[in-house]
């Protein structure tokens, strides 16, 4: 078991707890860079999709996992990022290195505007409000046909940066490295937000709004900032998703995608960056595993090709119910329990991770 001696307050907010943790994360980053040399182009495309979903998951994680605000409408902000990114390039002739961050800022501003009337809402009421935004966004995309292309959608051009072209089909390895670099920047931004005073304010609002008010935190402003930053990150992921999909319509960023985002962070583990990646890996690779298993079973049984409508959705639903009932901390939470068990053996106690009530006594006065 590793013991960390803290001699200053800086030790609580440093980027890595100790040198060993920095080493392992550095090794993981090196493996991610070397991945294109280890697997084929099809799996590289799947890895790129995992990174894009992880970026979107981190956006929603900042709002749900760090601030405790439920949202079922983040697909709408992915759509804002995807559409604005292409429109900036086509109508204003802006290069990708300018249109990409601008698309994130556009989604962030849209999120802040949505947060203004919804900061007083809690729990299921906030979820219903964001759900309505997701449904409304699909209709707005169709109505604004001169800009969005309506039901025909938009075609995302190839990404061009300083003369280099990035395309999903033409050069998937280079696109993977670009998305990996953007993912690294988003992770660094996310970690520094959590280390900053605003990150501590997010955690205070999540744990108890009454206690946060008593500490002098402006709860409404904190929620709005959390919503804006969350939508900014999600908008960046949406812009990358648009380039990855090449062609996207109003049906691409629908309600199912919002639910998928929530499923990713719940299965992966709420409140952690790791959870966004674990959930994205499960979401991207599970359909592939299901397809391989289905074909293998069909060949063994001599049934030829088998098609079971709704199989993937059913499996995802069972997974979500299972994690909520038996492992609410998600995959990363299970890993923490296993690691803690071996670190503390034989002094590990069964009730160490017993689920606690999600509210404080001070919240009963609301």
Rounded Cα distance, 234 and 276, in Å: 12
Domain count, the chain: 1
Rounded Cα distance, 178 and 167, in Å: 10
Rounded Cα distance, 163 and 14, in Å: 38
What is the sign, positive or negative, of the torsion defined by CA atoms of 60, 52, 189, 1? positive
**Domain-embedded: residue 333:** no
Q: Enumerate residue ranges in the chain where pLDDT < 70.
A: 1-6, 9-12, 303-310, 347-366
CATH for 287: 1.10.3470
**Domain-embedded: residue 133:** yes
**Domain-embedded: residue 163:** yes
**Domain-embedded: residue 263:** yes
**Domain-embedded: residue 243:** yes
Nearest to 313 by CA among 256, 269, 268, 363: 256
pLDDT digits (tens, 9 = 90+) for 66-125: 998 888 889 999 999 999 999 999 988 899 999 999 999 999 999 999 888 887 887 788
User: How far is residue 235 from each of residues 83, 128, 129, 219, 318, measured CA to CA in Å?
Assistant: 10, 21, 19, 24, 29
Neighbours of 68 (CB within 10 A): 22
> Which tokens hold the place of 37?
């040399």
Q: Check residue 7 and give its pLDDT.
A: 72
Q: Check residue 357 and give its pLDDT.
A: 52
Q: Check residue 62 and give its pLDDT.
A: 93
Rounded Cα distance, 261 and 258, in Å: 5
Q: Check residue 1 and give its pLDDT.
A: 55
Q: Check residue 79 and give its pLDDT.
A: 93
Q: Check residue 325 and give its pLDDT.
A: 80
**Domain-embedded: residue 155:** yes
Nearest to 237 by CA among 263, 258, 267, 255: 258
Q: Check residue 326 and give its pLDDT.
A: 78
**Domain-embedded: residue 346:** no
Strand partners, 155: 247
- Indicate the SS3 state at residue 159: strand
Q: Check residue 365 and give its pLDDT.
A: 40
Q: What is the bridge-based pairing of β-strands 164-166 and 247-248? A: unpaired
Domain that holds residue 148: 33-305
If you compute the radius of gyration of the chain from its CA atoms, what whole number of angstroms results? 21
**Domain-embedded: residue 102:** yes
């Amino acid at each position: 078991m590793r013991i960390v001696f803290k001699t200053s307050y800086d030790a609580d907010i440093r980027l890595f707890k100790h040198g060993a943790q920095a080493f392992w994360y550095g090794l993981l980053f090196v493996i991610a860079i070397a991945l294109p040399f280890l697997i084929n182009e099809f799996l590289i495309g799947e890895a790129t999709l995992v990174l894009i979903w992880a970026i979107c998951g981190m956006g929603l994680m900042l709002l749900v996992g760090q601030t405790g605000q439920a949202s079922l409408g983040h697909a709408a902000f992915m759509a804002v990022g995807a559409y604005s990114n292409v429109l900036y390039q086509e109508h204003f002739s802006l290069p990708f290195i300018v249109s990409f961050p601008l698309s994130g800022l556009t989604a962030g501003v849209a999120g802040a505007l949505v947060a203004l009337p919804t900061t007083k809402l809690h729990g299921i009421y906030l979820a219903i409000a964001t759900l309505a935004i997701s449904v409304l966004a699909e209709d707005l995309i169709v109505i604004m046909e001169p800009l969005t292309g309506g039901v025909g959608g938009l075609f995302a051009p190839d990404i061009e940066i300083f003369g280099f072209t990035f395309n999903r089909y033409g050069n998937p390895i280079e696109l993977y490295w670009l998305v990996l670099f953007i993912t690294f920047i988003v992770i660094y931004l996310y970690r520094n937000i959590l280390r900053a005073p605003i990150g501590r304010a997010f955690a205070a609002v999540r744990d108890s709004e009454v206690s946060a008010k008593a500490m002098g935190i402006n709860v409404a402003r904190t929620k709005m900032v959390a919503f804006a930053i969350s939508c900014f990150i999600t908008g960046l992921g949406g812009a990358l998703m648009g380039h990855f999909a090449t062609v996207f319509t109003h049906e691409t960023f629908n309600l199912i995608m919002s639910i998928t985002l929530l499923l990713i962070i719940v299965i992966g583990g709420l409140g952690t960056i790791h959870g966004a990646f674990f959930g994205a890996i499960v979401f991207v690779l599970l359909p592939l595993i299901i397809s391989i298993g289905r074909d293998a079973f069909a060949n063994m049984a001599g049934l030829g090709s088998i098609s079971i409508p709704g199989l993937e959705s059913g499996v995802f639903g069972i997974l979500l119910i299972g994690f909520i009932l038996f492992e609410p901390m998600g995959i990363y939470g299970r890993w923490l329990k296993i690691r803690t068990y071996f670190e503390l053996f034989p002094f590990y106690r069964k009730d160490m991770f017993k689920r606690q009530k999600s509210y404080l006594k001070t919240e009963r006065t609301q």
